[in-house]
Structure 1
Amino acid sequence: MADSSIGTPEQLRDPDYTPPLAKAVPLGIQHVLAMFVSNVTPVILVAGAAGIGFGSDQAGLGFPDMTYMIQMSMLFAGIATLIQTVGYGRVGARLPLVQGTSFAFVPVMIPAVAGAGTAGLAGLMTGVLIGGIFHILIGFVVGPVRKALPPLVTGLIVLMIGLALLRVGVQYAAGGAPKMGTPAFGTLEMWGPALVVIVVTLAAKFFLRGFFSVAAVLVGIVAGYVVALVMGQVSFAGVGDAALLAAPIPFKFGFELNWAIIIGMCFMAIISTIETVGDTSAICKSGAGRDVTDKEVIGATFANGIGSALAGAFGGLPNTTFSQNVGLVAMTGVMSRHVVSFGALFLILAGFVPKVGAVVNTVPINVLGGGVVVMFGMVAASGINMLSEVRWNRRNMVIFAISLSLGFGLQLEPSALQHTGETAQILLSSGLLPAAFLSIVLNLVLPEHISGDDLDEKSGAGVD
């Protein structure tokens, strides 16, 4: 419900309206808090897979590099958000869209950096940079791309993103990779704080109102963090060593061309574009009561690509628009892009302060696991919700069945790819890319009508 003290109903629906500073700044901070956990979590997941942090020092990378990556996730989320809200020329939607590190890329990034013989962070960051440039180019053809990806395809892709990450969430909640294979993994001591996060998150979501309901995962993680602190699972050893101020370093992890990563990042840029188009359309509908314009969609796509390319150049991960902040606009009724700009400035400021990243990195892995179990489940549920718009005739069921079976099957049994090359293994083992590729191609090449569809829809018959 909108607050009349902020402005008139007409003003609140205007993206160019600036509320009084006493109201605008807190509203901007609220946007940051609502997205904060989702923004830093992908970085922790990918860095952990690469052997950074959580007591590990593989390849000479340890706690300082984890702090740096968290720092970059905040800095470039703020920069990308500011590009989106302020805009320049054709770049930026000039809408209250919040940018942040994208979960969608995680199932592709983890196989790229985990284990021996993989691309490593140098290859990953180079792929993020080139993928961002490709994302910019998508802005010139975003219209046709939208038409090639109906709910059948986008829903399946989002569902696969969630399914690909569920195992990671449970592993983290049980103690994470450092505890796997040890008696400590899966103990009540590990699961306890994670379960507190899940229970408190559900309680906040359904029994609290306003910001605490919107930021339920953050509330849950704070509760789990307190429990873990009491149990002696929190260490502040690295906070004192973190610098007070530090600037981003170009190509911090090096530059290395890896075609598997580059192809994967470019393909995922298409997925991110569709997500951004959906968020841009939703925010115009809910906040301004109108349809999105082509200019806004194109501007949002350009901003997405530029933000991701800049992040990759300085050791950050690709970003996209955040759906939870679209919901926050609908809840507050405040459509002002300048409100979100204040939040972006706060993120940029935090990104120059490594101690903020060091404090975030004190969150125990099992506490984070409780939060991501909820978040990844919601990703999968969002995909199912998108699939509810599909007309389930025989053709669409076949496309869905084949794409899901092969994609999810390869994810469950990556050893089936052991005789393929390294590039193919990185691209296919997540299951996401083969499922997305199959669904897109089959949707484009298969005829809209096949024999028996009409009969099935009228009679409710199955697909036998």
Structure 2
Amino acid sequence: MAKHDSTIDLVFGLDDKPRFSVSVFAALQHVLASFIGIITPTLIVGGVLGLGSEVPYLVSMALIVSGIGTFIQARRIGPVGSGLLCVQGTSFAFLSSILAAGFIVKGNGGGPEEILSTIFGVCFLAAFVEIVLSRFIDKLRHIITPVVTGTIITLIGLSLIKVSMTDIAGGFGAPDLGAPVNLALAGLVLITIVIFNRFQVHMLRLSAVIIGLTLGFIASWSIGKVDFSGLSELSLIAIPVPFKYGFSFDFAAFLPIAIIYVITALETTGDLTANSMVSKQPVEGPVYIKRIKAGVLADGVNSAIASSLNSLPMTTFSQNNGVIQLTGVASRHVALFIAAILAILGLFPIIGGVLQQMPKPVLGGATLIMFGTVAMAGVKIIAEAGLNRRNMLICAISIGMGLGVAGVPEVLSAMPQDLKNIIGSPLTIGALSAIILNFLLPHHLDGVPERVEEPVEAAADTSGDIGGAREVPRAAVSSPTNS
């Protein structure tokens, strides 16, 4: 069983209270490491689904609910919250399913409000899947094994690559699709991120995405591809309004999102285990299990709060574990400062308005690496589970089904529309295929048992972290299983 990492020298432990200046400095570094991961999913959903003027408000809500979620996770309210220095942010894992839900509504003639009503309604109800699972998260390893989790996460990353490449070309419906200037801007961002990601200085690696996007944004502004004229029309303050766009439900949209909540519950288990290690807390025994269950419960509760306040589902970010290593500050009291900073940033829609002006090629240059990293994290989980014949069959069939339906949707043309909406999602058909095959195929197909009980080093991080803060393995202990 894994123990906490004795090589980490903490300046402030979990329950220490650093002075104000230290807390603010540490909090700013956590915000820096997670800011892009928090806002990018909203920018992608807003751009792909054509949500237009709603995007600044949605970005504000993403920041505010991340602050609320971080507070709950660290403060620990009753049985909710791990009590660790954890940052809650918008999860990339839900992107493909949320986009699919939006396109279902759009295909039925719905506008931005109908799209958001369905997305937030479905995400709110599906959050209770994770809330329920949190009570027996340590038992899920027998159902959702590493080969299933790795296959699903790989599909998530691969299915989102098309979104990145479309943005690199100029964005959906762009009149200059594929123009050399678009490719050049995306290339500038991509190369910048790669260069800074290779630096040995931790802060530069943590800031790689922000630096790349900033340079791309400045380059775009210098050639006239950024227009700030609409910022004057934005309201001064963004006030959270519960279910501002209404509340709608669609089962075809619900199923794939519910599946992702199962995966993020396991992902959060890995993140909290790694956080416990760097914070020199137990990673076995009743205290650890209680902390994991409370943390996953907080993830579900925070996602329900996020949906009710018009934001996308949240998860525990893993890149902040690297910040704890960097600063030596594991005090959960710092999370209160992080929460305050995020909430204050979210109060001002102009932040979202400026970010909305970021040209699609600039955003695409960054998300290409992010989504590719998600896919490779899934591949790593599969490899660590063991590439025996059984696992290879599960992965090959499931990924083939998912990408096949995505590439040739006409294969389902003869099916009823409702059924087509459900299994037409690459993620849904791939996930169901992996789960069913995992049940049906013998566990010793080629005489080599699947390594379910062994610790697995780095589970997938679908929060979009590519800043290099992965020195701590997202520990896979034998119970509960990490994602």
- TM-score, normalization by structure 2: 0.85
Aligned to 1:437: 432
| CA displacement, residues 286-324 of structure 1 (integer Å, 9 cap, x when unaligned) | 332641511111111111111111111121111111122
Q: C-alpha separation between the residues in 2 aligned to 1:81 and 1:380?
A: 26
Range that drifts further, 143-152 or 19-28: 143-152
1:257 correspondence with 2:256: no
Aligned to 2:123: 128
Partner of 2:135, secondary structure, is coil
In the alignment, is the contact (CA less than 8 A) between 2:11 and 2:328 conserved in 1?
A: no
Aligned with residue 78 of structure 1, among 67, 72, 89:
67
- The letter of the residue matching 1:453 is G
- The letter of the residue matching 1:376 is F
Instruction: Return closer, same or farther for 1:287/1:424 CA change in 2, 3 Å cut-off.
Output: farther
- The letter of the residue matching 1:17 is D
Residue 417 (structure 1) shift: 2.2
Instruction: Return closer, same or farther for 1:365/1:208 CA change in 2, 3 Å cut-off.
Output: farther
Aligned to 1:28: 27
Q: C-alpha separation between the residues in 2 aligned to 1:428 and 1:238?
A: 40
Aligned to 2:76: 87
Residue 332 (structure 1) shift: 3.1
1:287 correspondence with 2:279: yes
1:316 correspondence with 2:311: yes
Aligned to 1:268: 260
In the alignment, is the contact (CA less than 8 A) between 1:50 and 1:121 conserved in 2?
A: no
Residue 400 (structure 1) shift: 1.6
Aligned with residue 447 of structure 2, among 445, 453, 457:
453
Aligned to 2:43: 44
Residue 349 (structure 1) shift: 1.3
Range that drifts further, 354-363 or 327-336: 327-336
Aligned with residue 186 of structure 2, among 187, 191, 194:
194
In the alignment, is the contact (CA less than 8 A) between 1:97 and 1:322 conserved in 2?
A: yes
Residues 216-235 of structure 1 mapped to structure 2, 5 A cutoff: 216-235=208-227
Q: C-alpha separation between the residues in 2 aligned to 1:34 and 1:108?
A: 25
Instruction: Return closer, same or farther for 1:289/1:430 CA change in 2, 3 Å cut-off.
Output: same
In the alignment, is the contact (CA less than 8 A) between 2:60 and 2:238 conserved in 1?
A: no
| CA displacement, residues 341-400 of structure 1 (integer Å, 9 cap, x when unaligned) | 311111111122212211221211211111111111111121122222122222222112
In the alignment, is the contact (CA less than 8 A) between 1:132 and 1:309 conserved in 2?
A: yes
Residue 34 (structure 1) shift: 1.2
Aligned to 2:148: 153
| CA displacement, residues 3-36 of structure 1 (integer Å, 9 cap, x when unaligned) | xxxxx94553x22222222121121111112111
Q: Gapped runs of 5+ residues in structure 2? A: 1-7, 450-483
| CA displacement, residues 192-228 of structure 1 (integer Å, 9 cap, x when unaligned) | 2211111111111113512221121111101111111
In the alignment, is the contact (CA less than 8 A) between 1:11 and 1:17 conserved in 2?
A: no
User: Size of the alignment, in residue pairs?
Assistant: 433
Residue 231 (structure 1) shift: 0.9
Q: C-alpha separation between the residues in 1 aligned to 2:328 and 2:429?
A: 40
- TM-score, normalization by structure 1: 0.89
Aligned with residue 345 of structure 1, among 301, 317, 340:
340
In the alignment, is the contact (CA less than 8 A) between 2:74 and 2:332 conserved in 1?
A: yes
In the alignment, is the contact (CA less than 8 A) between 1:283 and 1:330 conserved in 2?
A: no
Residue 73 (structure 1) shift: 0.8
RMSD across aligned C-alpha pairs, in angstroms? 2.0
Aligned to 1:416: 411
In the alignment, is the contact (CA less than 8 A) between 2:345 and 2:351 conserved in 1?
A: yes
Q: C-alpha separation between the residues in 1 aligned to 2:325 and 2:57?
A: 34
